[in-house]
Each structure stands twice: as structure tokens, then as C-alpha cells.
Amino acid sequence: MLEQAVPMGLKYPLRVYLYRPTLLVFMKTSSSLLFLFLTCSVALAADPQATIGEPGCLVINTSPGPDERITWSGGCKDGFASGKGVLQWYAKDVPGTHYEGAMENGQPHGVGIMTRKSGDKVEGEFKNGLIDGQVKIAYSNGVKYEGDAKKGVPDGHGAMVFPNKTRYVGDFKNGRPDGRGVYVVANGTRYEGEVQNGKRNGKGVLRNENGDEYQGEFKDGAIDGIGSMVFMSGGRYEGSWKRNQFDGKGTITYAGSGKTVEGEFKDGLPLGATRTTPSTTKYSMKEDDPALGTNIRRPIVTGGGLPFNKTYAELTPDEKQVLSLQYPALEEGDEPPFPLHGLKTVYRGLSALAGKLRAEGHLVLYVKVDAEGKAKSVSVVASPSTEMTDYAAALVMVEKYKTAVCGGKPCEMPFKFSLNMTLTP
């Protein structure tokens, strides 16, 4: 099945506590990137009586619980478990944390492997009971970390990979991404630059899932400050931003016409302009004929923001507003290009290609339409394979288009096709 790509907020784990305490996961939503703050227990054995085990071979117990016991297969020194061995924790005779490696003074110290009952696994260097040095951490929720750690938390340089294939590589401080790094999100969004407390803060370069590229300042994860963005749909903006929108003094170069206007902006629009709330209606397209053994035609494309069977002239004003929102630098009164006979032909062709090639993933491409309604070139932002890229580009190149209109005259402007492709039985 194909699903028309729609930007949306992402939910993700923010803070994970690891070691003997219970694993806690807090959820929060962010605009573009996926962040995970990784923190391990930093509880130290300040009380010399916080121990467990046989007299003469004790183990430090940072968080005593009821009906606990341990087994230790290694040696003992100065009254504490020391050397290499296997340490197994039990709670009411149920196996819990398992550690295999070096111990010193009753604590993991040196190289070892720790596995918790939840499935979380730590492999690497320990110091005084805490991860410290080079480590690998695999969480039961699918998150993985590899890199430096200090006093129980990731600190230094490391890489974190999420179950949805989002990846962060860069600096960590006190368990959080902090310094400089690169975030690559599964939908194609890529950020490289300064990070503070796990969020984009400072200067950086962001390339979003649509292929638009921003260079400039960020604050608390959002585009905020002075910067410039070049839009794949045409045009650019340079100037002041606030919470991901044009806001303050700036210069906009409009798509198609190339006309440049300098002035004041507010909430992403020239000062004084208004924006109507677009429709949130979603459309789908069904297969031509039902599969054998059924009379039901299954949907082959879902989640479209526009009807597939309408030409541009047949679109309602609200539907045209939905289309114009894909063009942040479209001047008021101008029109974008549009497939001459509607979206149906292209999307049906893409659906057939996806099925034939068994393609799965994101496809985002822009076809540049000239002032005569002919496809001039294709720019591919994302594709599941080179084969899908070649076939899809050929398909949109032979399509005919309604021309864009700039200042009442035909002009050249890109048109975007965006899909999420998934395989169905």
C-alpha cells in the first residue's frame, strides 16, 4: 500500500535509567528530531553497611530490597568480592541482574557484561560499580548506544540508534547529547550542528524530509534566530525566524517568478497577511479491479491531502489552499503547477511500480515543470532504491502538467510527489 507522506510530530523516549533500579521511560513530543537522554544510576555506596552476601566476601548493595540474595563465583579480597567471576542477584529467589566480569571492593570494576531481568544489556568498562570508559548498551526497547561513558552515564563521543532507524552520532555530556553532533531521522531529516541538553541549540544545518535546507540558528530544538532556507518547491527566505516560522525582518524570493521582497514577517507570512485553516480531509484511491475471490476493491493509496480524480480547475478553494501550503515561498495570487489530468494517473503508476519492484520506504521527488507545462527535470530527495528512482522519474517526466502562474503569466516551478510505500499481502 502507498501512503501519501504527511509531516507529523514524533513521540519518543527521553530518559532511561539503567543499572539495578527500575527502568523508567518518559515520553514527549518534538517537531522534527528524535532525542533520547540516557542516564544511568549514579547512586554510590556511601554507607559501608549497604552490603549483601557472605561475611568476608561482600558485595555493595546500592538499593537494598526485600528478600534479596546473591551468588558470586569469583574470589574475595579484604572482605569483598574481587577478581573475575559471575555475580547473580535474586529477589524472592527469582533471578535478576546478572554480571560477568571483573570486580573490586565488592563492585563491578574493569571489563564486564551486565544483563538485567528486563533484557537491558551493558558491555564494557566499569569503575566503582558504574559504567566508565568504552561501553555498548542495548536496551530492551530497541535503543542502542555505543561510545564513551563517565561515572555511570554516556559522556564523550558516542552513537545512539533507535528502533525506527533514527541515529545520533556526536558528543554526549552527563548522559545527554550535548556539544556537536549529527541526527539522521528515518524520514530523511538530517541535522548537523550544535546540540545542548539533547536539543538543537546554536548554529547548524537542517535538511528536512522535503529536501528544504536551512542554515542558521536554533533554540530549544526549533529554528529560531537568524538564518536562511532554500525550498525544494522553489524560492528562499533569509532573515529572522521564530519557532520554525518567518518572523521579524527578512527577505523572501518567491517561487517561479524569482521576485524578491524585503520586509516584516509574522507567523510565516508577510506582516498583515492572513492564512485560512486548511482542510484536514484525507483521500484514498482504490485498485481498478478487486482481487480474485472478493468483490471489494482495496485501497492502494491512502492519506492523500487532495482528491486524486480532480484537475486543478476542479479543486475547491480549500483544496487549492492545501496545495499552496506545500509552497512556503509562493506569492499570494500565484498558482503552482499540477498534473493536467489530476493525480490519479501518476499515483496509480507509482502503486504498480511499487508492487512490481516490491519497494518499501519513502519516495519524495520534485519534477520541474516549465512555462509550457512540460516536465523539464526531476530531483529525487528520497527513494527506497535506485530502480524505483529510475522508473518513478521516467513516469513523472512523461506526464503533462498545468503550468504554474506567476503574476498572471505562465512560469517555471517544481511539483512534488511524496509517498510512503509499504508492502501488503
Instruction: Tell me the per-residue pLDDT of 370-423, one tens digit each, with 9 for 90 and over.
Output: 999 999 999 999 999 999 999 999 999 999 999 999 999 999 999 999 988 776
Q: What is the arithmetic mean of pLDDT over 349-359?
A: 89
pLDDT in tens, 171-219: 999 988 999 999 999 888 999 999 999 899 999 999 999 999 999 999 9
- Which ranges of 248-368 would DSSP assign to H, the alpha helix? 317-324, 344-357
Burial 128-152 (b: 16+ CB within 10 A, else e): ebbbbeebbbbbeeebebbbbbbeb
CA angle 233, 397, 4 (to 5 degrees): 55
Residue 280 clears pLDDT 90, i.e. is over it: no
Chain-centroid distance, C-alpha 94: 38
Percent of the chain residues topping a pLDDT of 70: 86
pTM: 0.82
Instruction: State the DSSP string of 20-59.
Output: SSPP-EEEEEESS----EEEE------STT-EEEETTEEE
CA dihedral angle for residue 127, residue 128, residue 130, residue 132, rounded to 10 degrees: -20
Element spanning 387, H or E: helix 386-397
Q: Distance between CA atoms of 178 and 402, rounded to whole angstroms?
A: 48
Where does residue 1 rank: exposed (0-12), middle (13-18), buried (19+ CB within 10 A)? middle
Q: Residue 207 to residues 192, 193, 386: CA-CA distances in angstroms? A: 9, 12, 21
Rg, Å, the chain Cα set = 28
Among left, alpha and beta (phi > 0; psi -120 to 50; other), residue 128 is left
Residue 12 clears pLDDT 50, i.e. is over it: no
Q: Distance between CA atoms of 329 and 234, rounded to whole angstroms?
A: 7
Beta bridge partners of 405: 335, 410
